[in-house]
Amino acid sequence: MIEATHAREAPRSSSLPSRWNGRPALTAFVLAFTGTLIVALTQGPKLFYGDSGNYWELASTFTHNGHFSLLNFESPARGYALPLMIYVLRALGEGVRWTDSSVAKLFNVALFALIGAVLAPRLAQTIWPRQRWSLLRRIGLTALLIVFWSGDLSYPLSDFPGLALALLALIAISRPDTPGWMLVAGAAAGLVIDVRAAYVPFLPMLLVIVALIWFAQRGTQHASLARRALCVALLAFGFAAVSLPQSLSAHRHLGTWSFIPGRPEDLAREHFEMGMYSQRYDTFVSHGEGYQVIYIDHTGLRILEEQPHGEIKTLSEYIGVVIDHPVAMAALLARHVLNGLDMRYSTVYVEHLDSGGLLWLRLAGFLLVFLALVRVLWPAARRSLGPTRWRYVIALLLCCLTSVFTAIETRYMLPAWLLAYMLVLAPAWPSPINHDKVGARRFQTAAILAVAYLVYMAVVWHVVSAATARVLS
């Protein structure tokens, strides 16, 4: 009788771990949320500097004379979506008497957990359909976000909301024959552009993905023409529905119907010119004030000074500069990319500028980038990923495209960083040691990788070490 009872109870003792392993996304989200929240709470309250303070204050513009309206929103440079999210968060925080800092942290904690435990692994399984992300890999991805970006947990910025929406749009667009998912894709795409206008090149790639999926379905059983037409209509409707408030607000306050936040005529001067004379940008905070930290690019500055009145007013003028100086501009943009991948600090707002950055963090960041490149360029490692749907990789990288031409900040490369984390943590890494060979030949691949890493680090460190900062008020 005792043995029979034990036999019935044995499966019950392992039922909880089995349920957890059977739902890795949910379990990972709970664990990631808890761990990230602990990290956020240890940081203490922070002032909202620069962009973060601007977003927080814009949440107040929806209410005029006690009346709420989306059309009340007014900003020449920002979209309405993130301030609207903050408006809701502030209302909830006031209801439970939380501080502004606590509300911002809770919002970012949820985003970190959602991206690391749910959205990024789901996109990874879409890119590499033969792979399955375990609980540990999801926790590992969230841990990397915490290690490299924990300083951003205290500030309401657009980077992580924009990334989460971009991931959601890509996941949803991968099901172009499902009306509900296409509606989600359209709404997410509209919100992406409103939250992060720099992601504009990402938008047409969604249509390319749909076209490629439908093209690949030729000659097979697929959705009817009517169903596809419905999906396209819902995609457009979702995009238009979330973009309309921005268009109406822009027309009311700025005299334009553009759904893209900001004044296009100001972009060249504000971003292209600054991207010419600076190869990196940080924000230094001291005694409650924020200061610009410009890493001067002397070659770009010289080219800019050669232009009429030392200005670049339009995109066509910028293209003309590239045509006139192709080698110098290619080198300048390469410096932007490398400095954008230089993880000097784990926060947007630097409090200890004299340190020059955390050496271990910089080295670890460049090591991760190298490993991601190895995963793609080493044939054995690339084959271990299985079939790759490169269209999603391209879409994610396009989120960084426009930022390469500006004064680059590390946070602007966040989508590329996430892709690197996904590549490094992806299952089935091959061994660099060939056990089928004998003697020193067994270590041939490992030796090649080690030499390649040393050359890579020598080039990278030469570039980033040459970037010196100048603090501006």
For 14-22, the CB contacts below 8 A with 24+ separation are 20/135, 21/135
pTM, to two decimals: 0.92
Q: Do 283 and 50 touch, CB atoms closer than 8 A?
A: yes
User: Digits of tens for pLDDT over the chain (473 positions)?
Assistant: 333 444 444 444 445 455 555 688 999 999 999 999 999 999 988 889 889 999 999 999 999 888 899 989 988 889 999 999 999 999 999 889 899 999 999 999 999 999 999 999 999 999 999 999 999 999 999 999 999 999 999 999 999 999 999 999 999 999 999 999 999 999 999 999 999 999 999 999 999 999 999 999 998 889 999 999 999 999 999 999 999 999 999 888 888 898 999 765 555 566 788 899 999 999 988 877 888 889 999 999 999 999 888 888 788 888 899 999 999 999 999 999 999 999 999 999 988 877 778 899 999 999 999 999 999 999 999 999 999 999 999 999 999 999 999 889 999 999 999 999 999 999 999 999 988 787 788 999 999 999 999 999 999 999 999 887 776 65
d(CA 364, CA 151): 17
d(CA 104, CA 86): 8
pLDDT at residue 316, rounded to an integer: 85
pLDDT at residue 269, rounded to an integer: 63
For residue 71, the tally of other CB atoms under 10 A from its CB is 14
Taking the domains of the chain in order of start, what are their residue ranges?
264-473
Element of type H or E holding 201: none
DSSP 68: E
d(CA 365, CA 371): 10
pLDDT at residue 10, rounded to an integer: 43
Q: Do 391 and 176 touch, CB atoms closer than 8 A?
A: no
Q: Do 288 and 296 touch, CB atoms closer than 8 A?
A: no
DSSP 185: H
Q: Which runs of E-coded beta strand occur in 275-412?
A: 278-286, 289-296, 349-350
For residue 346, the tally of other CB atoms under 10 A from its CB is 19
For the record, the structure tokens of 344 come out as 């000097």
Compute CA distances 108 → 89, 164, 258, whole Å. Answer: 11, 11, 29
Angle (deg, nearest 10), helices 390-398 and 202-216: 170
pLDDT at residue 13, rounded to an integer: 44
d(CA 354, CA 24): 42
d(CA 348, CA 292): 12
d(CA 52, CA 43): 17
Please state whether beta strands 289-296 and 278-286 pair in parallel, antiparallel, or not at all (unpaired): antiparallel
d(CA 424, CA 158): 25
